[in-house]
Amino acid sequence: MFNSAKKSPPNHSKTAQSASTTTSERKPILSIIKDIQRQTRRQYSAEEKIRIVLEGLQGEQSVAEICRRAGLNANIYYRWIGPIPMIQATTGE
């Protein structure tokens, strides 16, 4: 019913090798990660920002839905309407 055979311990030789990476080896990895982060950041044109903000102000859909569809964080949406006092009054902030 029970298997009484002992299992051999796992081989961690690869883990030990990767843990001993030098700073010079890590530097290119960090630069690659930063390059990827720069590529994934989206730039929105003024027209896109206006369209997205106006959709939110129409009230037909939630801001969360609009932002999800546009691939935008809701915090960015509210930052876009932040400097406009008239819009802040209509959104209840």
- How many folded domains does the chain comprise? 1
80 inside domain: yes
Instruction: Return the sign of the alpha-carbon dihedral for residues 52, 56, 59, 65.
Output: positive
> What does pTM read for this prediction?
0.50
**DSSP H or E stretch at residue 89:** helix 85-91
Q: Which helix (H) or strand (E) holds 38?
A: helix 23-40
pLDDT tens by residue, 8-54: 656 655 555 555 556 556 678 888 887 776 666 788 999 999 999 99
Q: Is residue 65 part of a domain?
A: yes
> Whole domain around residue 86: which residue ranges?
46-91
Q: Model confidence over 61-93: pLDDT tens digits? A: 999 999 999 999 999 999 998 866 665 555 554
On whether residue 85 sits in a domain, the answer given is yes
